[in-house]
A = this chain, B = another copy of it.
Amino acid sequence: MNFEVQLKEKKLKVTPQRMAILNEIQRNGHLGIEEIYENIRKIYPAISLATVYKNITSLYEVNLLREIKAPYQKQKYELACDRHIHVACEKCGKLEDVHIELNDAMSRCSDMTNYKLHDVSAVFLGICSDCASKAK
């Protein structure tokens, strides 16, 4: 996936700050605003937090980014390119992607509520295997 092309499609300018944000999120999978800011600052010390906020907002509005809202966690952002859900470890806070479909649940849900549904934000909560083995 080529960020330059995607940005141009969305009529957003290709600035170094914007590219840095996208690359940073791509590299890490899921990041909060403050983490994005701090990580980019290591390479690009002049970037301003306001710029990060503004970019997250605009990238979010054109659907290049997606918010992840998980219980017990701060808001995080990920690239919006593929659809998936998440698991979160309640011990260590780790968040991971899981590529499963919830289509059957979505259609059951649609039947029950009369909503036209097209997406889901789902986070399964539990204990990761690392934490489970440490606990013993």
Contacts and interface: CB of A to CB of B under 8 A. Distances in A.
Interface size for chain A: under 10, 10 to 19, 20 to 34, or 35 or more residues?
35 or more
A87 B121 contact: no
A105 interface: yes
Interface string A63-77: 000110111100000
B122 A126 contact: no
Interface string A110-128: 1011111111111111111
Max chain B C-beta neighbours (<10 A), residue from A85, A87, A89, A115: A115
Interface of A: 66-67, 69-72, 85, 87, 89, 96, 98-100, 102, 104-106, 108-110, 112-129, 132
A121 B122 contact: yes
